[in-house]
Amino acid sequence: GAVVSQHPSRVICKSGTSVKIECRSLDFQATTMFWYRQFPKKSLMLMATSNEGSKATYEQGVEKDKFLINHASLTLSTLTVTSAHPEDSSFYICSASQGGLSSYEQYFGPGTRLTVT
């Protein structure tokens, strides 16, 4: 149980275009979803937290107009990288939390490798 998927697993896009990454909780309802960014050989950096039906809360230094997050349902959150640039190339990982007694545990997706050329 508690499986989280991400799509696509890899994407290559040209500079200036936008890319959407989907994060789905497959067998549970996720009241909260998180988006992380991971640079090579580095730890995970939290970008934003989103609750279903609410606006995402962005961490300091993360451009909300560049990284658009939508959490339209209890099983789906999307991250759209707008007007992507090579410096946006990274590994993006989402996680989902069920809430309630399990709210302290996050279930992670397999990640999406974004390369901007």
Partner 1 sequence: AQSVTQPDIHITVSEGASLELRCNYSYGATPYLFWYVQSPGQGLQLLLKYFSGDTLVQGIKGFEAEFKRSQSSFNLRKPSVHWSDAAEYFCAVGNAGNMLTFGGGTRLMVKP
Q: Please name the residue that has the structure tokens 């909260």.
A: 32
Contacting range for partner 1; rule: CB under 8 A; set: 13-21, 69-77, 79-87, 103-111? 103-111
Exposure string for 79-115, b = 16+ CB within 10 A, e = fewer: bebeebeeebbbbbbbbbbbbeeeeeebbbbebbebe
At its nearest, how many Å lie between partner 1 and the CB of residue 83?
A: 26
Based on the shown chain and the rule CB under 8 A, indicate whether residue 27 belongs to the binding site for partner 1.
no
Q: Does 25 bind partner 1 (CB under 8 A)?
A: no
Q: How far is the CB of 107 from partner 1 (least distance, A)?
A: 8
Is there binding between residue 11 and partner 1 (CB under 8 A)? Answer: no
Task: Supply 77's token pair.
Answer: 């959150």
Question: Which residues lie closer than 8 Å to 55 by C-beta, 6 or more apart?
Answer: none
Cα-Cα-Cα-Cα dihedral sign, residues 100, 106, 110, 112: positive
46 binding partner 1? (CB under 8 A): yes
Where on the chain is the footprint of partner 1 (CB under 8 A)?
4, 6, 32, 34, 41-44, 46, 49, 91, 93, 95, 97, 103-111, 113
